């Protein structure tokens, strides 16, 4: 059986009440959830940079190892050429071996230079790693503090929050998808999270703009969903001012 407009308004207004209570709970937590998330993201970034530094250091160490092997190879060749130089038969052979000796000596110098450069880069990266590790340590302490603070606040309202979430799920089932999507869209665009409001003292309960009397009459009839022409919020009903019962009533003269 299809719901009447009045029933739809009641259901959507009830959902708004639940959401408003949830909003109040989340407001108490303030920016802590976002701060925790930001710190977690920051820590992941630092850890990724540390991994990159370590990869670079490993690569430089491999480069040093290759240059050291090249030096050993050149030293072997130098020893070989020096032995051959002792047994040359003419100046041409002597000059050729001398050139080979000079070439190997140059190779050793280049390799040693590259080893020195790589070692300097490793030292620089290790210093960066130390600074980054210290920063990471501080950020992890900050994260633990924020998490403990958030956990303490959450624990105070955990039971109520869980109950409200269940109530919200049940309340949402009673609302057709089209209306529910509109409701969520309005809520997301509203700073105070109010998508459904009452007309109070002749004004919209969301933006406080005046609602014309004729429009108020239409809202009271609840024959169709009516939204505020200024802010787009759903107007669930008109809340009449109730006379203060504590005010003494004047007696009619006999």
Q: Quote the pLDDT of residue 242.
A: 53
Beta-bridged to residue 203, according to DSSP, are 200, 210
pLDDT value of residue 250: 47
The whole-number pLDDT of residue 254 equals: 36
What's the rounded Cα separation, in Å, for the pair 119 and 195? 64
Q: Are strands 234-239 and 203-204 parallel, antiparallel or unpaired?
A: unpaired
What stretches of 30-137 adopt beta strand conformation (E)?
none
Tell me what pLDDT residue 241 has. 62
Phi and psi torsions of 9, nearest 5° = -65, -40
pLDDT, tens digit (0-9, with 9 covering 90-100), for 23-50? 999 998 888 999 999 999 999 999 999 9
Q: What angle do CA 64, 70, 73 make, to 5 degrees?
A: 145
Please tell me the predicted confidence (pLDDT) of residue 88: 87
Q: Report yes or no: 215 and 237 within 8 Å, Cβ to Cβ.
A: no
**Contact in structure between 132 and 49 (CB atoms under 8 Å):** yes
pLDDT score recorded for residue 71 = 97
Tell me what pLDDT residue 176 has.
92
Residue 243 is predicted with a pLDDT of: 43
Sequence-distant (≥ 6) Cβ neighbours of residue 175 within 8 angstroms: 8, 11, 12, 15, 183
Q: Tokens 């250091």 appear where? A: 57
pLDDT for res 246: 43
Q: Per residue of the chain (254 residues), what is the pLDDT tens digit?
A: 567 999 999 999 999 999 999 999 999 888 899 999 999 999 999 999 999 999 999 999 999 999 999 999 999 999 999 999 998 889 999 999 999 999 999 999 999 999 999 999 999 999 999 999 999 999 999 999 999 999 999 998 989 999 999 999 999 999 999 999 999 999 999 989 999 999 999 999 999 999 999 999 999 999 999 999 999 999 999 987 654 444 444 444 43
Does the global pTM surpass 0.85?
no
- Quick one: pLDDT at residue 240? 77
Q: For 147-181, how does the pLDDT look when each residue is reduced to its tens digit (9 = 90+)?
A: 999 999 999 898 999 999 999 999 999 999 999 99
Instruction: Please return the burial class of 195, using the count of CB atoms within 10 Å of its CB with bins 0-12, 13-18 and 19+.
Output: buried
- How high is the pLDDT of residue 191? 85
């Amino acid at each position: 059986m299809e719901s009447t407009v009045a029933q739809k308004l009641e259901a959507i207004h009830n959902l708004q009440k639940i959401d408003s209570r949830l909003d109040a709970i989340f407001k108490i937590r303030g920016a802590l959830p976002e701060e925790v998330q930001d710190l977690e993201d920051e820590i992941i970034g630092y850890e990724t940079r540390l991994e990159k530094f370590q990869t670079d250091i490993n690569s430089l160490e491999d480069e040093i190892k290759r240059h050291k092997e090249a030096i050993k190879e050149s030293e072997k060749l130098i020893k070989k050429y020096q032995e051959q130089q002792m047994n040359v038969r003419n100046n041409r052979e002597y000059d050729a071996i001398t050139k080979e000796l000079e070439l190997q000596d140059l190779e050793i110098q280049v390799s040693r230079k590259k080893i020195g450069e790589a070692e300097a880069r490793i030292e620089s990266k290790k210093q960066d790693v130390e600074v980054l590790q210290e920063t990471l340590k501080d950020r992890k302490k900050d994260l633990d503090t924020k998490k403990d603070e958030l956990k303490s606040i959450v624990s105070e309202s955990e039971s109520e929050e869980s109950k409200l979430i269940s109530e919200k799920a049940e309340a949402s089932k009673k609302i057709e998808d089209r209306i529910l999507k509109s409701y969520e869209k309005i809520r997301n665009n509203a700073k105070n999270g109010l998508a459904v409001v009452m007309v109070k003292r002749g004004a919209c309960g969301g933006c406080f703009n005046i609602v014309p009397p004729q429009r108020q009459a239409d809202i009271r009839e609840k024959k169709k969903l009516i939204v505020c022409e200024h802010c787009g919020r759903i107007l669930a009903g008109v809340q009449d001012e109730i006379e203060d019962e504590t005010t003494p009533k004047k007696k009619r003269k006999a």
